[in-house]
Every structure is written in C-alpha cells, then in structure tokens.
Amino acid sequence: MSKIAAGLREQVEDWRKLEGRLKDAEELAGLDDESLRLDLESEILTLESELEKRSFTAMLSGPYDSDDALLAIHAGAGGTDSQDWAAMLMRMYLRWAERNGYAAEILDSSEGEEAGIKSTTISINGKYAYGYLRSEKGVHRLVRLSPFDAAHRRHTSFALVEILPQVAFDSPQVLIDPADLKIDVFRSSGAGGQNVQKNATAIRITHKPSGLVVTCQNERSQTQNRENALKVLRGRLFEINMREKEKNLAALRGEYQKTEWGSQIRSYVLHPYQMVKDHRTNAETGNAQKVLDGDIDVFIKAYLEHYKRI
C-alpha cells in the first residue's frame, strides 16, 4: 500500500507542477509582450508535448503497469533465419529502451549455431516499463529475402516475445518455498577466449512443483546471477497464476480461446514491399527500418487506446 500511495503522491505533485507552468504561460500571454513571443511559443509546444505524454500514460492503469519489466525472446521454427530474427527483435527492444531512457540489462542469452540467438531474457527498468511493453507480448512474424539462403529466396520467420512484470520479492502474489528449488551452478558459455568464465558463476534454478527452469549467466558474480534468476522465476510464476485466473474468468464468460503459436500479433514485411502491421489494432507503417531501429511507440499507443477498456 505504501508503494501505491507514494506513486499517487508523485502523480499529484507532477500534475500540480504542470498546472503551475500552464498558469505562468497564461500570465505571460496576457502581457502581450512581443519580446516574449518566441519563449512563449517554445513553452507552449513543450507543454503540449507533456500533456500528450501524460494522456498516454493515463491509459496505464493496471496494477503492475508502473513496474519494471522482464522481456524474453524465443526463436521459433525456421533455424538460422528465425534465430537471426530473434536477434533483430532484441536489438529493436534495446534501441527502444535507450530511446525512452530505460535501463536495459541482458540477464541470459543463448546464441544460435550460425547466427542470431535462440533465446534471451532482458531486464527493462524504469517507470511504466511493463505498462508500455505488455503490448509486445505474442508472436512476431518476419517476411524477407533470406541472407542465409544461397538462392536468396523469401523466408518467413517467427519469434515469441514474452513480457513479465518484475514482481517484488515481498509481494504476496508469489510465494516461493526454498525447499522447492533445485539450484545448479555451472560455467558461463561464451564465444571462447577471454570471454569464457574460468569460475562457475552461472545459475540454473529448477522450480520443482511447476517444472519451470530459469538460467542466468550474464554477471560475473554467482550471487547476482542467483538474484536475477530468482527475479525471472518470480515473474514466470506470477504470469502462470494470472493466466490461470484469466482463463477461469473467461471460461465463465464463455470467451476463452487458446492462443496458438501461429497467431502472430504483428508482421514485419521487408520483401516484396516494406510494411509493419499490427493485426490486433490494424496500426501500420511503411517505414520498417525505423521500427526495427526501436521506434515502436505507434504500435504501443494504438494497443493501449484499443484495449483501454480492459
């Protein structure tokens, strides 16, 4: 409750500051002083941008929307092409985090045999990280001329994106009995040379009741890897609990439909034309490269506006 109260106090204080700036701008405009015109126009543009941003964040009213997020990417069927696609998505989200001032840390990553990655887990830390990124959960499809095909044919690749809230260790939503955990320590894998850890610092945690297995090998510290692995485990257990509750509620309403692997949420087409389209909201853009460089806010905003009633 104290965290919620602190968040509400912060929001109220921010709105009061914005109200003060609006009143100041109104008073300056009332002076009708031509020498203040350029400064006043600049302030008005800044205030309009701030109001638009606040209108955007006002749609993030879920209980965990203001929390940090865990983002996981898994390459689908398709071999090297899908693993390369997973790496492209990882770069896209890292760029998005950088553009928006979020701290991003790769907790675990499994490299592909030839290129790309098989999977990765990234911690995205900052206010509303989960609220924004929950729109990205689902299957993402890429259509392009394959750089790994000698005949340079068109290939379709898939990757699954998971978004989990970083549940606090003291949250009653997820209780973990230490006796239910099997913890293994091993050496971090790497490309060889100096990057390979000589000491066993990587952590694998198996949650015996659920069968969930999480690994973390990014940090040199075994303790830090253990903490990060537990963070991911808590997020996954929380998602399972929430999914089960939503499934039961939807079943009572007669609405539940199982989400299959092939039901992609967004398509990224690079050939024979360029277009990125979200199949849930119909938001689309012809600048695919801009999206792959991390400019995904148009899809996030469309999703929040489309599902704000939920």
Top-confidence residue, 181 or 251: 181
Instruction: Kindly state whether residue 267 falls inside one of the protein's structural domains.
Output: yes
Q: Indicate whether 90 and 130 sit together in one domain.
A: yes
**Which candidate, 34, 71, 226, places its Cα nearest to that of 159?**
71
- 76: domain CATH number is 3.30.70.1660
The answer to whether residue 158 is domain-embedded is yes
- 127 and 78 share one domain: yes
Asked whether residue 63 is domain-assigned, the answer is no
Mark whether 248 and 213 lie in a shared domain: yes
Residue 68 has pLDDT above 70, yes or no: yes
Residues 166 and 78 in one domain: yes
* Residue 117 confidence (pLDDT): 95
Note whether 100 and 207 are same-domain residues.
no
Residues 94 and 44 in one domain: no
**What pLDDT shows up at residue 197?**
47
Compute the Cα dihedral for 242, 244, 245, 246 and give only its sign. positive
Asked whether residue 191 falls in the same domain as residue 137, the answer is: no
On whether residue 193 sits in a domain, the answer given is yes
Q: Which two tokens stand for residue 85?
A: 């696609």
Q: 164-179 pLDDT, tens per residue? A: 998 876 677 788 999 9
Rounded distance between C-alpha atoms, residue 117 and residue 96, angstroms: 19
One domain, residues 161 and 81: yes
Q: Report the domain count for the chain.
A: 3
pLDDT digits (tens, 9 = 90+) for 269-287: 999 999 999 999 999 999 9
**Spatial contact of 133 and 89, defined as CB atoms under 8 Å apart:** no
96 lies in some domain: yes
Judgement on whether residues 161 and 197 belong to the same structural domain of the protein: no
Looking at per-residue pLDDT, the higher value among 233 and 5 belongs to: 233
Instruction: Identify the CA nearest to 208 among candidates 230, 241, 180, 175.
Output: 180
State how beta strands 69-75 and 154-165 pair: antiparallel
pLDDT tens digits, 78-92: 789 999 999 999 999
Domain that holds residue 9: 2-57
Q: Based on the domain organization, do 247 and 269 belong to the same domain?
A: no
| Residue 165: CA count within 13 A, CB half-sphere | 20
Report the b/e string of 81-119 with b at 16+ CB within 10 A: bbbbbbbbbbebbbbbbeeeebebeebbbbbbeeebbbb
Residues 157 and 73 in one domain: yes
79, 158: one domain: yes
Domain final position from 253, 269, 292: 253
- Write the CATH number for 248: 3.30.160.20
Is the torsion defined by CA of 145, 147, 152, 155 positive or negative?
negative
